[in-house]
Structure 1
Amino acid sequence: MIRLDERGKQCPLPVIEAKKALETASAGEQVEVIVDNEIAVQNLKKLGDYKGLAFSSQKKGEREYAVVLTAAGNTKTASQETEGQQNSLPEPAAVCCPDGRRKGMVAVISSREMGQGDPALGALLMKGFIYALTQQEVLPEAVLLYNGGAFLSCEGSDNLEDLKTLEAQGVEILTCGTCLNHYGLGDKLRAGSVTNMYEIAERMTGAALLIRP
């Protein structure tokens, strides 16, 4: 049996690493994946369903789940094995599921720091807030970044991976283009896409709920 400890790793890493292990496993060999949340279990089940693999899971503790996938000699789905088919369907990208976005909920971030006071503490709090956002059962529909918040979605940001996690779950990450240009970040954007103040105003005025850390 191949054992993977994926606790503490953000989606889609558990799925990606399980997929790699399955590709190297012998037919009938089991791959056990230890994760720390139910969403990761669901994502691994989705992988198993797609590949037509035997799947089982067990909750071993408050934040410990053991998922077992049994490798097969040929893991293609039945639809891909149709006789005479020349081009197999592309495997879907590993994404976090289920869709937990709440329509009309928008997070607005205008600074690299959260709150007033010590800048280092403010940056630490902002990092903690964005990570905590990825762990919520209900996610925002979009995250709007402008002024100092534009730094968060750019190369070198400590928040970049968490923003990518939100993006993988369907959350729109939108960064003000004027702000990127002002701070010389025009070619540094690494998460989401560029937006403008008209769209920012439209999203904010049309939001049912605004979150301002």
Structure 2
Amino acid sequence: MKNKVILLASDQLGRGDKDLGEGVLETFFTILKQKEDLPVAVFCMNSGVFTLTERSLVSLQLRDLEAKGVDVLACKTCVEHYEVENQLIAGKISGMAHFIELASQYEVLTLS
């Protein structure tokens, strides 16, 4: 995962059962945070911004990644669209221009 940016475009991983998808996403980040090589950043967009709120157990894993030095970012437009500005418990609000800058420097792994 070193030198990668994770683009988190959903609050679940894969299509199908929502509870299963949320659980699989939490497992992904639980395992990821235990690795030595961590991504440079996680950029959350669209419904991925919900993973930064209390309603998602993934937020706990993302906070742990943040504590280990990974930039955890939320798309400003998406946060405003879903009206979750005051609900974020992990990450910080950022813009698409910042994501484009990251994408020009690092490989992007998209989770949706």
Please give the TM-score of this superposition, normalised by the length of structure 1: 0.49
Q: How many residues end up aligned between the 2 structures?
A: 111
**Which amino acid in 2 is paired with 1:166?**
L
In the alignment, the residues of structure 1 paired with residue 20 and residue 101 of structure 2 have an alpha-carbon distance, to the nearest angstrom, of 32
Deviation at 1:206, TM superposition (A): 2.1
Report whether the alignment pairs 1:212 with 2:110.
yes
For 1:24-35, what aligned pairs fall within 5 Å after superposition? Answer: none
> 1:185 — aligned with what?
84
Q: Is residue 60 of structure 2 the alignment partner of residue 161 of structure 1?
A: yes
Where 1:194 maps in the other structure, the secondary structure is strand
Equivalent in the alignment of 1:128: 27
Structure 1 consecutive aligned stretches of length 4 or more whose deviation exceeds 4 Å: none
Higher normalized strand content (fraction of residues): 1
CA distance in 1, matches of 2:47, 2:104: 21
Higher helix residue share? 2
Q: CA RMSD in A?
A: 1.4
- The CA deviation string for residues 67-121 of structure 1, in whole angstroms up to 9 with x for no partner, is xxxxxxxxxxxxxxxxxxxxxxxxxxxxxxxxxx83x311110001101222221
SS at match of 1:212: strand
Please give the alpha-carbon distance, in whole angstroms, between the structure 1 residues aligned to 2:18 and 2:9: 14
Q: Which amino acid aligns with 2:110?
A: R
Distance in 1, matches of 2:18 and 2:104, equals 30
The higher-RCO structure (CA 8 Å, 6+ apart) is 2
Shift of the alpha carbon at 1:155?
A: 2.5
Q: Which amino acid aligns with 1:195?
A: S
Identity across the alignment (%): 33
Larger radius of gyration: 1
Structure 2: 5+ residue stretches without partners: none
d(CA) in 2 for partners of 1:210, 1:136: 18
Structure 1 unaligned regions, length at least 5: 1-100
Match of 1:146 among 30, 45, 48: 45
Paired with 1:108 and 1:136, the residues of 2 have a C-alpha distance of 18
